[in-house]
Amino acid sequence: MPSKDEKARRKEILHSLRDEERRKLRESAPAPISALKELFDYLDLQLSNTECDGTLRFAHAYVRQNAMDKGLTIQWFEQHGGHCDCEVLNNVEPSLADAVSGYDRIGRDTGNVN
């Protein structure tokens, strides 16, 4: 059985690994976090009126309308489990929200958090 010090060391390693994964996710973002949050809000609005059809049609439309890098953005979504619009909301957004301190305040009157 590991000692108390060993348990603490392992816990610290796990925290460091999680922090590193969060940093990598933030740094790999294909657009400013505020722009991605707006895209997620748009998807949420669209999917509140329509079921997901298993494609990224709303994400494609938003990216095109907002002159975002389509290839980079879609590839990033897919790398993080977003292969359709609802998966972007259910997989990608929560991961980014976890990686960005103050994510829930982005886009509100407090200004952008990046």
Q: What is the DSSP letter of 104?
A: G
Amino acid at 47: L
Each residue's pLDDT tens digit, 26-59: 999 999 999 999 999 999 999 999 999 999 999 9
Token pair 């957004």 is found at 93
> Contact at 8 Å (CB) between 90 and 77?
no
Amino acid at 24: K
**Distance between CA atoms of 18 and 98, rounded to whole angstroms?**
10
* pLDDT at position 107 over 60: yes
Each residue's pLDDT tens digit, 61-101: 999 999 999 999 999 999 999 999 999 999 999 999 999 99
